[in-house]
Structure 1
Amino acid sequence: MSKPINVYSVPDARKTLDEAIPEIFSRLGYSQKFKLIDTKLVLGYSLIVFAAASFFIDKKIPWEQSKKYQQILVILYAIVCGVQLWFSKFVEKGTVYQGVKKSDKISVGAKYKKYSPEFQFIISNGKSRKVELDTTYTKFFSEEGYLQSEILFSWFKEQLQTLESKKLT
């Protein structure tokens, strides 16, 4: 059983649900893909490398000699920041889980409202079908703030069956 959260805290509920999703889909037979996470890590670490190189150059080489290197590093930093922003806004789009089961691919995204217990899950199986589901946190948490894993598991299982039935029609 998970630790209790404040069910009136949107960030706590969001974090708990996001952390529970990989285990839920693992129980459903999916194995998680980390392509989006790996891309975010590469972009983030490259920003760290550019910043560290700039710091090192600033400390070891006089300003007049290092100015052209600093300009190049700032331009690279700005470009990678732009790519990272574009990636999170248009590629990742709130995706919290990607998985694969044999030849079936699944992607789960979430859109949370800032001060509301309402949110939306988007479950898609690649490019062909998707289901958009509006729900609330109160459905998956007890009054004491414990995540009710079985309810969440059966809810996702039901939604995947709905997605499969859409695929057949």
Structure 2
Amino acid sequence: MADTKISPHSLAELKNTTDDALGNYLRGLKFEQDNTKLDVRLAIGYASVIIAAATFAADYKLGWEATKTWTAVAVVAYALLNGAFTYWMWAVEKGCVFAGVREGKKALYLHDFQISVASKTKKHDPTYYLTISSANSESRQITAPFTTWFTADGYFVAKPFQQWLASSVEAIGNADSKNALRDQRDEIASPSPEVELTPQGNGTVDASGTDGKSKGSKRSKRKG
């Protein structure tokens, strides 16, 4: 159980704490994080700060008349960078909290161990939404209420969170078989059909599982 207590009524705190735990858990399973997207976001942010600081310093030392042209250029550049930052956050990262690959795997099979995880919450809904993507499968979403791994007074419990991830995501379950609940993983990997098809006596198939061959009624013979 985590020592840090958060407010169980704050979705932002619940999500941020869970996001941090997810990254720590995957890194503990020898997933090497790819920080390319994070580095780009930080570079855009730092560039915006540098432009703002340089503009302020120039205006403070040289005055408005001497720097107004450069100030106009800086304002345009800052606006463009701010737009790029917003686009990168919403269109490229899309809530990604972890992207990486398991360490020690041969390049030939690298795609089997790549994983990208994006998280989100919805207003007034204490549910954690995860979108799992990998190189060799389509993206899919898994969900669970925060109460699965948070106590009523706001403490994070790692075990049920790790079991949920290992049982729901094949790549994580393969890396952490101890926490993977096999029954759940088998059901996810090979879901049983909702309706079982049963062969009938006349060679056709009935979706209800009942025999479609009608039985004739017996008529009793009256003795004369």
Sort the TM-score into its range (normalised by shorter chain): 0.7 to 0.9
Superposed, 1:32-111 pairs within 5 Å as 32-101=33-102, 102=105, 103=110, 104-111=113-120
Aligned counterparts of 1:63 and 1:26: Cα–Cα separation in 2: 51
1:146 aligns with 2:155: yes
Q: 1 or 2, which has the higher helix percentage?
A: 1
Tell me which residue corresponds to 1:25: 26
Aligned counterparts of 1:32 and 1:99: Cα–Cα separation in 2: 4
Aligned counterparts of 2:68 and 2:136: Cα–Cα separation in 1: 47
Change (3 A) 1:162 1:73: closer
Contact kept, 8 Å, 1:28 with 1:157, in 2: the verdict is no
Moved beyond 6 Å, runs of 4+: 162-167
Tell me which residue corresponds to 2:220: none
The alignment yields a C-alpha RMSD, in angstroms, of 2.3
Q: Which runs of 5+ in 2 are unaligned?
A: 175-185, 190-224
Tell me which residue corresponds to 2:145: 136
Contact kept, 8 Å, 2:100 with 2:116, in 1: the verdict is yes
Aligned counterparts of 1:53 and 1:144: Cα–Cα separation in 2: 47
Aligned counterparts of 1:7 and 1:75: Cα–Cα separation in 2: 42
Change (3 A) 1:19 1:162: closer
Shift of 1:119: 3.0
**TM-score if structure 2 supplies the norm length?**
0.68
Aligned counterparts of 2:136 and 2:67: Cα–Cα separation in 1: 48
Aligned counterparts of 1:76 and 1:4: Cα–Cα separation in 2: 42
- Matched letter for residue 63 of structure 2: P
Aligned counterparts of 1:59 and 1:118: Cα–Cα separation in 2: 49
Change (3 A) 1:5 1:60: closer
Change (3 A) 1:162 1:55: closer
Change (3 A) 1:127 1:43: farther
Tell me which residue corresponds to 2:177: none
- Matched letter for residue 78 of structure 2: Y
Aligned counterparts of 1:93 and 1:29: Cα–Cα separation in 2: 24
Contact kept, 8 Å, 1:98 with 1:108, in 2: the verdict is yes
Change (3 A) 1:69 1:127: farther
Deviates more, 1:29-38 or 1:15-24: 29-38
Shift of 1:63: 2.2
**TM-score if structure 1 supplies the norm length?**
0.88
Tell me which residue corresponds to 2:126: 117
Q: Which runs of 5+ in 1 are unaligned?
A: none
**How many positions carry a matched residue from both structures?**
167
Aligned counterparts of 1:28 and 1:162: Cα–Cα separation in 2: 11
**Whose Rg is larger?**
2
